[in-house]
Each structure stands twice: as C-alpha cells, then as structure tokens.
C-alpha cells in the first residue's frame, strides 16, 4: 500500500515530490514513538491491536472516494494513519508477544517474524504496483484492508494474558521514564544504539550506492533492484539464524556488535565499485541491519518491566527507525559535493566507531553489571 499510494499520488498530480511525501507520512509517526507507546500501555494490548487494525481497514475503505488531484490530501491522511498504526502495533505486539512466548524464545521468534516481513517485502510491492495498474488504487486499498481485518481476527486467537492495562501515571511521567530506561539500562541501550547508528549509516550509504551503480558498475538504475533483492534475501537468512546466534554468543548485545561489523564490511564492499564485491556487500548489509534490529527489539522485550513495555518499545522504535530519515538527506548532500564513495566510507566508519565505543564501555562497566545481576 505504501508504494501504491506514492504511485497513486504521482498519477494524479504528476509530481514526484508529492509522491515522496506520501511515503514520508508513513514514517513520520515514528518520531512520536514514546508518546504512542505510553498510550498503548494504558489500554489492553489485544484490544489495541484489534481496534487499530479495524480502524485502519475502515480508513482504507474511504479511499474509494479519491477521484482527482484535489483528493491527494485524502491519501496523505490515510498514509499518516498507516504510520501511526505501525508504531501502535509494534508497541502492543511487544506486550502480547512477551505474554505469550517464553523469554528464551523471543530472539528466535523475532527473527522469524522479521524474516517473514522481509520475504513479504520481496513480493508485496510488486503485487501492489501490478494491482494498481490493472484495477487502480482503490483495489489496492481494499486488498490491504482485507489483510488488516484478517490480522485483527488472528490477534484474538493468540494465547497469553496481555489484556490488562498497565499503570495510570501521568503521560509525561511515563514518556520520560521510557526514554530514561532506554538510555540508562545497559542491556537495552547497547543493542539499541548500535541498531540506531547502523540505520543512520544505511541512510547515508544509500545515496552513495546510487552513484556506485551508475558510475563504477556502469549499470542502469534498475540494477538497484537486484542489489535490494540480494539484501532482502540475506535479511531472511538473518531472521532464521539470529536466535541461534543469541544463544551461541550470549545475548543481544554481542550479536548487535557482530552485526555492526558485518554491516560496515558491506558498506566497504559497495565502495570498491567491483561487481562481485558489490553483490556480496548487499548480502552483508542485509545480514547486518536485520541482526541489529532483531537484537535491539529482543533486548527491549527481554529486559523491560511489563508495566512500561509499550513506552520503551515506542522509544526504541523511534531511535532505530527514525534515523534513516536523517541519513538520507545527509548522504544526498555529500554526494552533491564529494565522490559518491565517501558516504559509503562514512557509513563504514560510523558503524565501526559505534561498535568500538559500545564494546569499550561494556568492558568498563562489566563489574557493575555483574554486581547488579548478582
């Protein structure tokens, strides 16, 4: 639906800028993650999931009224609701998952979930774009609404006692507590900060990759689709093995650090401008980014008290998923004034730097953390 909305807006207006704005509205609510997470903590998790899916499905149904360029605001409004739904569902799902699944299995489950999502991303955009061409935007909206309605039904049959609201404190108190928890709890902060800066690096590197494809690999822009497919396939593999890696290396933070290095190597491979290493680089980037994200979200679920899980999940999601919005314009600005390989090298240095810093702090704080655990 996200891709179809952008195509729909461009078809109606002829403006690529307005088309890009449709995608912006989907990701903008990530910045409100702590606020939306605090709201989720104030209601039964299952009720939030069912209601949010059904409300969004109904809003998608209203898009049948879109008839011309004057109705573009309608698409923007529904895409904004789509973005809010993403954040709310992530926070509420965290509570539902923790209630339904043993904590030792969270890493494996999150890996399978993210791997499944990445597999869907290889197919869904093509289906949405194809359906738009054949039947129009309203048909895509109807399909998306149907999927959301099915999801709402499935939430009802997930086992686990997750239907109690948690806490009646003032909103601002909960928001501050959630942000403070992410910042001060080492078991959460380490994987979250690695994932956050890796995502910043991915935004920076993306702008440089366009230039590498055109000027060094001498391939058409469509070749980016090949690299994206390789990255998506590697993300699926990462989702399958991340649970085993967490068990093998002793938790989320070591996997996040390893993943940060893998991501850095991928960016460096892209910067060589040699086709074989570029292909390998895409696989490494897909592995690294997926492992960092799963490690961060699993750390939040495992090490956060249930009473503040929604708020902390929203705060962590903001830190992990909002940064690419900063990295993309920075990378674009760099490409306009320096060699297109510079953003890729900068992303490499950023990833290596955060891994080194987090590892150094982990070694320095280990006696205190051990003491707390004892």
Domain limit, last residue, from 159, 187, 222: 159
Reduced 3-state DSSP string for 8-54? HHHHHHCCHHHHHHHHHHHHHHHHHHHHHHHHHCCCCHHHHHHHHHH
Distance separating alpha carbons of residues 179 and 314, to the nearest angstrom: 9
Burial of 125 (0-12, 13-18, 19+ CB in 10 A): middle
Instruction: Out of 95, 127, 159, pick the residue that ends a domain.
Output: 159
% of residues, the chain, pLDDT over 70? 91
Q: How many residues does the chain have?
A: 374
Q: Max CA-CA distance within the chain?
A: 65
Residues 256 and 292 in one domain: yes
- Per residue in 90-126, pLDDT (tens digit) is 889 888 888 888 888 888 888 888 888 878 877 887 7
Answer yes or no: do 185 and 140 share one domain: no
Question: Of 327, 248, 245, 326, nearest to 292 (Cα)?
Answer: 245
In terms of Cα–Cα distance, which of 333, 321, 373, 345 is closest to 83? 321
Rounded to 5 degrees, what angle do the CA atoms 46, 49, 52 make? 140
Segment of 69-73, 168-172, 212-216, 333-337 carrying the highest mean pLDDT = 69-73
Q: What is the pLDDT of residue 85?
A: 94
Which residue has 């078809």 as its token pair? 11
Q: How many domains does the chain have?
A: 2
Confidence at residue 221, expressed as pLDDT on a 0 to 100 scale? 65
Using CA atoms, how far apart are residues 207 and 133, in angstroms rounded to an integer? 29
Give the end-to-end CA distance of the chain in Å, rounded to a whole number: 49
In order, the DSSP letters of 346-366 are HHHHHHHHHHHHHHHHHHHHH
List phi, psi (to 5°) of 292: -65, -40
User: Which tokens go with 199?
Assistant: 């995502």
Q: Which CATH number belongs to the domain containing residue 240 in this structure?
A: 1.20.1250.20
Q: Percent of the chain at pLDDT above 90?
A: 37
Q: What is the pLDDT of residue 293?
A: 93
Handedness of CA 301, 307, 310, 311 (dihedral sign): negative
Band of the pLDDT at 163, cuts 50, 70, 90?
low
- Both 262 and 315 in one domain: the answer is yes
pLDDT tens digits, residue range 264-317?
Answer: 999 999 999 899 999 999 999 999 999 999 999 999 989 998 888 888 998 898
Q: CA–CA separation, 51 vs 61, rounded Å?
A: 15
What CA–CA distance (Å, rounded) separates 311 from 181? 10
pTM listed for this prediction: 0.79
pLDDT at site 372: 42
| Residue 246, burial from CB neighbour count under 10 angstroms (0-12, 13-18, 19+) | buried
pLDDT at 364 over 90: no
Q: Please indicate, yes or no, if residue 240 is contained in any of the structural domains.
A: yes
User: Domain check: are 323 and 358 in the same one?
Assistant: yes
Looking at the structure, tell me whether residues 69 and 97 fall in a common domain. yes
Q: Do 317 and 204 share a structural domain?
A: yes
- Residue 276 confidence (pLDDT): 93
Task: Note the Cα 192 to chain centre separation in Å.
Answer: 12
pLDDT at 169: 64
Q: Residue 272 carries which DSSP code?
A: T
Query: Span 135-154, mean pLDDT?
Result: 93
CB-based contacts of 155: which residues, under 8 Å, 6+ apart? 46, 49, 50, 53, 96
- What is the extent of the structural domain holding 72? 2-159
Residue 165 falls inside a structural domain: no
CB of 243 within 8 A of CB of 111? yes
Task: Judge if 132 and 236 occupy the same domain.
Answer: no
Indicate if 139 and 182 belong to the same structural domain.
no
pLDDT in tens, 1-45: 887 888 888 888 887 668 767 777 887 888 888 889 888 888 888
Q: Are 18 and 10 in contact (CB under 8 A)?
A: yes
Asked if residue 336 has pLDDT above 70, the reply is yes
Residues 116 and 214 in one domain: no
Give the mean model confidence (pLDDT) for residues 148-174: 76
In a domain, 352, yes or no: yes
Q: Evaluate whether residue 149 is within a structural domain.
A: yes
- 132-142: average pLDDT: 90
Do 98 and 33 belong to one domain?
yes
pLDDT at 328: 66
Q: Which of 214-223, 242-251, 297-306 shows the lowest mean pLDDT across its residues? A: 214-223
Q: Provide the 10 A C-beta neighbour count for residue 154.
A: 12
pLDDT tens per residue, range 170-201? 777 888 888 899 988 999 999 999 999 999 89
In a domain, 355, yes or no: yes
Task: Identify whether residues 190 and 103 lie together within a single domain.
Answer: no
What pLDDT does residue 193 have? 94
Is position 373 within any domain? no
Q: Across 117-126, 221-230, 352-361, which has the greatest mean pLDDT? A: 352-361
- pLDDT value for 109: 87
Would residue 304 count as lying in a domain?
Answer: yes
234, 354: one domain: yes
- How far, in Å, CA of 362 to CA of 250, rounded? 14
- Closest of 194, 211, 352 to residue 278, by C-alpha: 211
What is the dihedral angle through the alpha carbons of 38, 40, 41, 46, rounded to the nearest 10 degrees? -170
State residue 95 phi and psi, 5-degree precision.
-65, -40
Tell me whether residue 173 is in a domain: no
Give the residue from 159, 188, 206 where a domain finishes: 159
**According to the model, what pLDDT value does residue 107 have?**
87
Least confident of 67-71, 316-320, 321-325: 321-325
Rounded distance between C-alpha atoms, residue 292 and residue 217, angstroms: 28
Q: What is the mean pLDDT of the chain?
A: 85
């Amino acid at each position: 639906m996200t891709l179809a909305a952008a195509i729909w807006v461009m078809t109606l207006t002829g403006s690529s800028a307005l088309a890009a704005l449709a995608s912006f509205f989907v990701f903008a609510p990530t910045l409100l993650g702590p606020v939306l997470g605090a709201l989720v903590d104030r209601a039964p998790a299952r009720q939030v999931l069912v209601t949010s899916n059904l409300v969004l499905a109904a809003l998608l149904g209203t898009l049948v009224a879109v008839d011309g360029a004057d109705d573009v605001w309608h698409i923007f409004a529904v895409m904004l609701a789509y973005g809010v739904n993403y954040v709310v569902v992530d926070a509420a799902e965290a509570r539902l998952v923790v209630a339904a699944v043993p904590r030792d299995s969270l890493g494996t489950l999150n890996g399978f979930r993210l791997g499944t999502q990445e597999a869907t991303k290889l197919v869904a955009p093509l289906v949405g774009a194809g359906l738009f061409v054949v039947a129009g935007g309203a048909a895509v909206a109807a399909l998306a609404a149907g999927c959301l309605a099915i999801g709402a039904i499935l939430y009802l049959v997930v086992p686990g006692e997750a239907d109690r609201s948690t806490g009646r404190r003032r909103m601002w108190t909960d928001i501050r507590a959630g942000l403070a928890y992410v910042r001060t709890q080492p078991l959460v902060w380490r994987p979250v900060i690695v994932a956050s800066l890796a995502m910043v690096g991915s935004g920076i590197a993306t702008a440089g990759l366009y230039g590498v494809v055109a000027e060094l690999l001498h391939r058409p822009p469509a070749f980016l689709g090949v690299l994206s497919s390789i990255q998506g396939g590697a993300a699926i593999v990462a989702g399958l093995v991340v649970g085993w890696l967490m068990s093998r290396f002793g938790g989320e933070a070591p996997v996040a650090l390893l993943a940060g290095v893998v991501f850095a190597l991928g960016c460096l491979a892209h910067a060589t401008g040699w086709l074989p290493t570029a292909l390998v680089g895409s696989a490494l980037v897909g592995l690294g980014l997926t492992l960092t994200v799963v490690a961060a979200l699993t750390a939040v679920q495992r090490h956060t008290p249930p009473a503040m899980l929604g708020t902390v999940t929203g705060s962590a999601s903001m830190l992990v998923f909002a940064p690419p919005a900063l990295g993309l314009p920075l990378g674009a600005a760099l490409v306009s004034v320096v060699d297109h390989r510079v953003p890729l090298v900068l992303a490499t240095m950023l990833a290596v730097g955060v891994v080194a810093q987090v590892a150094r702090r982990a070694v320095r704080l280990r006696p205190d953390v051990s003491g707390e655990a004892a």
